Amino acid sequence: MKIDAKKLIAAALKAREGSVSPYSKFKVGAALLTADGEVIGGANVESASYGLTCCAERIALFKALTEGKKKFIAVAVVARWDGGAMPCGACRQLLAEYAPDAKVFVADTADLQTIKRFTVGGLLPGAFRLVS
């Protein structure tokens, strides 16, 4: 399937509106593209017990997985950060487990035309896995 990175970035921007980030005020949006062409969005959710905070990428992934989606071909992440905000280590682990072949698109909300492109495998080589 042809992947429209701009469209997926736009979906992540829309999902970012759902960010619940009263502590950091740092809004992040993510959008996952399934092999069936569906797009599942997510945004970061923070807790007063800071460590319980969940990133946008994982919210999107958990939503998709619990809706029965199994195959992902791309994920987009947007935040207002120069050059775009990269997925954190925890999100890389989860993506490596459940979306190992996905492309990763990253953009800054201040410059959505500039899309950085990565792969999940490239962002976490040699990922820990217990199933093949």
Binding site for ligand THU (CB under 6 A): 21, 24, 26, 28, 44, 46, 53, 55-57, 85, 87-88, 91
Q: Which is nearer to ligand THU, 34 or 87 (CB)?
A: 87
**67 neighbors 84 (Cβ within 8 angstroms):** no
Least distance in angstroms from the C-beta of 92 to ligand THU: 9
Least distance in angstroms from the C-beta of 96 to ligand THU: 14
Distance CA 99, CA 58 (A): 11
Sign of the alpha-carbon dihedral angle for 106, 82, 16, 63: positive
Q: Which is nearer to ligand THU, 29 or 39 (CB)?
A: 29
Active site residue 57: yes
Number of residues that make up the chain: 132
**95 neighbors 119 (Cβ within 8 angstroms):** no
Of 17, 38, 46, 57, catalytic: 57
Distance CA 26, CA 20 (A): 9
Least distance in angstroms from the C-beta of 54 to ligand THU: 7
Give the catalytic positions in this structure.
Answer: 57
